[in-house]
A and B are shown apart, each in its own frame.
Chain A
């Protein structure tokens, strides 16, 4: 139980294009999902908190117009990297809070490797 999937697992795109990454909770409802970024050999950096049906809350220093987050349902959140540039290349990981588990625990997706050429 408590499985989170991400799609795609890896993507290569040209500079200037936009890329959408999906995060799904497969067997539970997640009213809150989190998006992280991880650079090689470093820890996870929280980018934003995504709440179902409301606007995402972005961490300081994260450009909300560049990293668009949509949480349209209780099981799906999407991160769109707009006008991607090589410096956006990174490993993006989502997590979801299992509201059916008291107290809440975050479960992580397998990550998406983005490479911008």
Chain B
């Protein structure tokens, strides 16, 4: 079984400032890692994913994340945020062997609010 902890429920930042959204996971098996973004009253959009290989993953909208196996972390970063980045961000994991049908386990989400 896996679990995901998003350490911050809310992160307020000013426009053009850098931001880091933290995610830690726990698993007894190898995992795939994902970050999704959800805008109000919408579904989830995939930002980026780590499957294997380079631990630094680049995604859409200027976001990137780094997989750290020793710290079991997958923090999301952006060097300069925009007002339009205001949304809920979810970190998720799945069993990379296909166990449980690649079922995703989500964190509780982090609300990023970008202020002018």
Q: Do A and B come from one complex?
A: yes
A interface residue numbers (CB < 8 A to B): 4, 6, 32, 34, 42-44, 46, 49, 51, 57, 91, 93, 95, 97, 103-111, 113
Q: Are A46 and B43 in contact (CB under 8 A)?
A: no
Chain B interface residue number, banded: 20 to 34
User: What residues of chain B lie closer than 8 Å to A97, measured between beta carbons?
Assistant: 101-102
| Complex Cα spacing A18 to B15, Å | 45
* Contact A46:B104 (CB < 8 A) given known A93-B44, A109-B43: yes
Q: Are A44 and B106 in contact (CB under 8 A)?
A: yes
| Complex Cα spacing A4 to B44, Å | 11
Specify which of B36, B98, B102, B108 lies most central, judged by the most chain A CB atoms within 10 Å of its CB: B102
Closest to B105 in A: A46
Give the interface SS of chain A, mostly helix, strand, loop or mixed. Answer: strand
- State the Cβ distance, A54 to closest chain B Cβ, in Å: 12
User: What residues of chain A lie closer than 8 Å to B34, measured between beta carbons?
Assistant: 105
* Contact A49:B46 (CB < 8 A) given known A43-B107, A103-B51: no
User: What residues of chain B lie closer than 8 Å to A103, measured between beta carbons?
Assistant: 32, 51, 96, 102
Query: B77-116 interface mask toward A, CB cutoff 8 Å, 1 = contact, 0 = none?
Result: 0000000000000100000101001111011110000000
